[in-house]
């Protein structure tokens, strides 16, 4: 009987095939994957419909159901993301630095594949394609635990990935799913030190914390998104209205969606009513502090829990503050270090915000929804890293590589 460990070992055995493949072959595999996604979209949608029906029956939230859903438009978007990865430079073999030592040794540091990349995520079948496609271009095998909620969708997507690899002569075992093994499979993936080189969790704060705490495999920590926008006293009303609305409502179920709006008291009466009206007209529920409710009585009373909430829904916490200092203090206390944005026409305040906010992505006069590998020009992404080691912010091809030192000599020995 095949076990999760057997499939992990299969990926390890296949990692040499993908690791030694040249750029043309890897790109050919990815082109095949993109074509198969479109050609087999009906098969994907049928499998996804089963997952959606099961999710509704099992009480998945609206936000998770939205993340789970695949339709023709989203499948086309996945194919486009794969093609963008094809168009990007291959990082493998890139020389990061080099020198010739006084003794004549030629030393260089080059990018190399990790080997086997593991990923644990939930109800996000798009991640199956994103991570596996980036891993292929970066020369690594991947082992995916996409969760029971997306098991049927992921099974079809992984088969498409394997068929794309096989079509160009690469080992199809370089992409594996262990969804069928449930939580036990996830535990075995977390314990697979020596077989899996790096593990990336994506999902809820509790999922990420579990992986970080229990894994014996090195983890690149992605983070949940308690994301802030601060409307400064000099903010333009039209910018504030559109940036806040886009940040909250364009897709509320994702980690770069706005969750807490901070407003300078000097701008509250001038700007806030128009901002909140547009949000409310779109169905957003406002959770306001006392000062916010005085301006906008329709708001429900915010509690301390609201300032730390990642809603994934059309809910927004709103607080009026007396200064940039107070805004910075609030962000430092409640932020998950994902993305924060300031709306201002004060250059000094903008630069101070950029310098002092300790998040992976910090913005001025822009919607937080731009924190995304695709929007940054990376094609797809494997997640938004909120840690400070190796990778931070949207992770794409370079972040899914390691390095090694190459030394070329002519008989030198050390004295």
pLDDT in tens, 115-159: 999 999 988 999 999 999 999 999 999 999 999 999 999 999 999
**Contact of 72 with 48, CB cutoff 8 Å:** no
Within a 10 A sphere around the Cβ of 57, how many other Cβ atoms?
8
The pairs formed by 391-396 with CB atoms below 8 angstroms and a separation of 24 or more are 391/220, 392/360, 393/360, 393/361, 394/361, 395/200, 395/220, 395/222, 396/88, 396/134
**C-alpha count within 13 angstroms, C-beta hemisphere, residue 269:** 2
> What is the mean pLDDT of the segment spanning 314-338?
97
- Please tell me the predicted confidence (pLDDT) of residue 383: 82
**C-alpha count within 13 angstroms, C-beta hemisphere, residue 201:** 25
Residue 318: enclosing H or E segment and its boundaries?
A: strand 315-321
Q: What is the pTM of this model?
A: 0.84
CATH architecture type of domain 4-221+387-408: 3-Layer(aba) Sandwich (3.40)
The pLDDT > 90 percentage for the chain reads 86
- Please tell me the predicted confidence (pLDDT) of residue 232: 97
Residue 204 pLDDT greater than 80, yes or no: no
> What is the mean pLDDT of the segment spanning 38-60?
96
**What is the spatial distance between Cα 129 and Cα 135, in angstroms, rounded to a whole number?**
10
pLDDT in tens, 275-285: 999 999 999 99
In the chain, ranges of CATH 3.40.605.10 domains: 4-221+387-408
Q: Are strands 106-113 and 95-100 parallel, antiparallel or unpaired?
A: antiparallel
**What is the spatial distance between Cα 153 and Cα 174, in angstroms, rounded to a whole number?**
19
- Please tell me the predicted confidence (pLDDT) of residue 61: 85
In the chain, ranges of CATH 3.40.309.10 domains: 227-370
**Contact of 402 with 113, CB cutoff 8 Å:** yes
- Please tell me the predicted confidence (pLDDT) of residue 117: 97
- Rounded to 5 degrees, φ, ψ at 342 are -115, 140
In the CATH scheme, what is the homologous superfamily, with its name and number, of domain 227-370? Aldehyde Dehydrogenase; Chain A, domain 2 (3.40.309.10)
> What is the mean pLDDT of the segment spanning 77-96?
95
């Amino acid at each position: 009987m095949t076990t999760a460990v057997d499939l992990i070992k299969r990926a390890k055995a296949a990692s040499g095939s993908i690791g030694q493949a040249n750029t043309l072959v890897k790109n050919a595999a990815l082109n095949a994957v993109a074509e198969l996604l479109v050609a087999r979209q009906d098969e994907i949608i049928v499998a996804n419909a089963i997952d959606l029906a099961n999710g509704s029956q099992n009480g998945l939230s609206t936000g998770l159901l939205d993340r789970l859903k695949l339709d023709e438009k989203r499948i086309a978007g996945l194919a486009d993301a794969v093609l963008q990865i094809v168009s990007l430079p291959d990082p493998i073999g890139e020389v990061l630095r080099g020198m010739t030592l006084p003794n004549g040794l030629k030393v260089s540091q080059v990018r190399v594949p990790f080997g086997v990349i593991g990923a644990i995520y939930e109800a996000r079948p798009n991640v199956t394609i994103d991570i596996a496609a980036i891993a292929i271009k970066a020369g690594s095998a991947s082992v995916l635990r996409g969760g029971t909620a997306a098991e049927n969708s992921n099974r079809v997507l992984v088969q498409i990935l394997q068929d794309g690899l096989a079509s160009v002569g690469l080992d199809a075992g370089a992409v594996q799913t262990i969804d069928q093994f449930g939580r036990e499979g996830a535990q075995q993936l977390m314990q697979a030190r020596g077989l899996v080189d790096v593990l990336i969790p994506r999902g809820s704060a509790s999922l990420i914390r579990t992986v970080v705490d229990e894994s014996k495999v090195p983890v690149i920590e992605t983070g949940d998104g308690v994301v802030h926008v601060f409307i400064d006293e000099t903010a333009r009303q039209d910018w504030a209205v559109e940036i806040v609305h886009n940040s909250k409502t364009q897709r509320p179920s994702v980690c770069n969606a706005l969750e807490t709006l901070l407003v300078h008291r000097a701008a509250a009466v001038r700007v806030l009513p128009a901002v909140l009206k547009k949000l409310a007209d779109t169905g957003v529920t406002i959770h306001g502090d006392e000062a916010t409710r005085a301006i906008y009585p329709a708001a429900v009373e915010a509690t301390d829990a609201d300032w730390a909430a990642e809603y994934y829904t059309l809910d927004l916490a709103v607080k009026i503050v007396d200064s940039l200092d107070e805004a910075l203090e609030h962000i430092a206390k409640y932020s998950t270090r994902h993305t924060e944005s300031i709306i201002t026409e004060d250059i000094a305040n903008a630069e101070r915000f950029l310098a002092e906010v300790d998040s992976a992505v910090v913005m001025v006069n822009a919607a937080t929804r731009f924190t995304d590998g695709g929007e940054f020009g990376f094609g797809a992404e494997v997640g938004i890293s909120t840690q400070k080691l190796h990778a931070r912010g949207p992770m794409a091809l370079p972040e899914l590589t390691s390095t090694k030192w190459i030394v070329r000599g002519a008989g030198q020995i050390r004295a």
